[in-house]
Amino acid sequence: MAIDWKGLNPAPVTLFKDNGDVDFKANARLAQWLASIPGVKSLVILGHAGEGTFLTHDEQLELIRVYKDATPLPVVAGITGEGTKVAEIEAQKKFDVGASAALVYPNHGWLRFGYQKGAPQDRYKAIAQSGLECILFQYPAATKANYDLDTQLEIAAIPGVTATKNGVRDMKRWYNEIPALKNAFPDLAIMSCHDEWLLPTMFDVDGLLVGYGNMAPELLIEYLEAGKAQDYRLARKYHEQLLPITRAVYHRGSHMEGSVALKHALRARGLIDNVNVREPLKPLGDAADVEIRAAVRASGLTVVEEALAA
């Protein structure tokens, strides 16, 4: 049975102990809180927001097991292995420990050098053989790892590809390519991952797959429903309400800083008790913490005190 992507699909951060080890108990608590919110459809781990490529292979598999045991929601695992065969093996192992779907990252060599025609399609075919549903991941147009429309259409036609996470960040392409995908594949779920500017994409999507979903899932679900209803006035209201936290977390010097800032926002909401990260991420410092705490208050995000007591 295909996963229902038509809602919020948060990409949770990964929580660490003070000694640098993965804090599996804390990760389970975060998973349980997110899963308790109506409208959350899946939990997407081992991606950028979750520092997935900074975890060892064994840590990645154990985190999937923890999430699988903690909630009834489908667990989506980032697949990041470079070579197609490597990614195929990675996908099978993650399926075997309980993942239901794959967020398929491009071969990261393509970021610099681009890709040969047909290579992305073969990558998806290999990963889909594992039994994981696959999400077509469209990278920003500023990179060489984003797919032209013909490539997207060919990937979407592969059995097992049921959704796309589009982060093209080029609205000219969005307005041309998203309608083409919808027309060719009406059942393909369209999900935005434009954390830093969601409003322009909110009226064209079935769901969201965003790191943002860690810190403000309640409001994002309402925001998404306003977009689906084509209610611009209401969607604009949620955009304005969330703008302080959008700026504090995602309008920083580097988008990678957003992964760190997310943890500050989660701590400000009472959901976690530290902001530990793994290299190459760096701490943001006390000034950023003060800024993010103020933004959480300004956006009306409440403290979830019971989460840490669970």
142 in any annotated domain: yes
- Given the structure tokens 């899963």, which residue do they identify? 35
Nearest-10 crossing angle of helices 171-184, 149-156: 30
Please tell me the distance from the alpha carbon of residue 68 to that of residue 282, in angstroms, as a whole number: 29
CA dihedral 225→229→234→240, nearest 10 degrees, is 60
27 in any annotated domain: yes
Q: Starting at the edge strand that comes first in sequence, how are the strands of the sheet with 75-79 ordered?
A: 8-10, 207-210, 189-192, 161-166, 133-138, 101-104, 75-79, 43-45
292 in any annotated domain: no
271 in any annotated domain: no
Please tell me the distance from the alpha carbon of residue 205 to that of residue 80, in angstroms, as a whole number: 25
Neighbouring C-beta atoms of residue 257, cutoff 10 Å: 17
| pTM across the whole model | 0.96
pLDDT score at 309:
43
Q: What is the pLDDT of residues 60-109, one digit of tens each?
A: 999 999 999 999 999 999 999 999 999 999 999 999 999 999 999 999 99
The stretches in the chain having pLDDT less than 50 are 307-310
Please tell me the distance from the alpha carbon of residue 270 to that of residue 250, in angstroms, as a whole number: 20
pLDDT score at 308:
46
125 in any annotated domain: yes
Q: How many domains does the chain have?
A: 1
- Nearest-Å Rg of the Cα atoms of the chain is 18
Q: Which helix (H) or strand (E) holds 143?
A: none
**CATH value at residue 117:** 3.20.20.70
Please tell me the distance from the alpha carbon of residue 156 to that of residue 135, in angstroms, as a whole number: 9
Show the domain range for 64: 8-229
Per-residue burial over 185-224, b if 16 or more Cβ lie within 10 Å, else e, is beebbbbbbbbeebbebbebbbbbbbbbbbbbbebbbbbb
**What ranges make up the beta strands (E) of the chain?**
8-10, 43-45, 75-79, 101-104, 133-138, 161-166, 189-192, 207-210
Please tell me the distance from the alpha carbon of residue 274 to that of residue 119, in angstroms, as a whole number: 41
78 in any annotated domain: yes
70 in any annotated domain: yes
82 in any annotated domain: yes
Phi, psi angles (nearest 5°) of residue 7: 180, -150
- Cβ atoms 88, 126 nearer than 8 A: yes
Structure tokens at 276: 């530990």
Which 3 state secondary structure label does DSSP give 132? Answer: coil
Structure tokens at 248: 């504090």
